[in-house]
Amino acid sequence: MTTEQIEKFLEKNAIDETPVKVSFKTRKPVVGIFITRGDYSDLKAKNFWRIVGEANLENYSKSKDINLARIFSGSEMTKLSVL
């Protein structure tokens, strides 16, 4: 997916604290939330996205530590859907 496609999806849907299922070309889907703080603009410019996976959601909601997130390439994403 392109940066514009992902950004349009994020603008259309409530992105903070809303779980999203992210499907990929070569790996299993990931459920998590997109992080729009910190280095969001820099990563977005390169089509990279910081996502906290569902295993770390509880810890992230308490601490807001962006180090609990992983960075994914937007070019590997095939589909985004709100849960």
* Rounded CA separation 48/2 (Å): 10
| Per-residue pLDDT, 34 | 93
User: pLDDT tens, 15-51?
Assistant: 667 899 999 999 999 999 999 888 999 999 999 999 9
pLDDT of residue 74: 97
Residue numbers of the domain that contains 61: 3-82
Q: State the total domains in the chain.
A: 1
Q: From CA 75, how far away is CA 13, in angstroms rounded?
A: 20
- The pLDDT assigned to 13 comes to 81
DSSP class of residue 47 equals: T
**Exposed, middle or buried by CB within 10 Å (0-12, 13-18, 19+), for 54?**
middle
What are the counts of helices (DSSP H) followed by strands (DSSP E) for the chain?
Answer: 3, 5
User: What does the pLDDT average to over 67-72?
Assistant: 96
pLDDT of 14 higher than 70 = no
Paired residues of 48 in beta bridges = 73
Residue 77 has pLDDT above 80, yes or no: yes
pTM of the model: 0.89
Instruction: Give the residue among 71, 61, 77, 69 at the shortest CA–CA distance from 25.
Output: 77
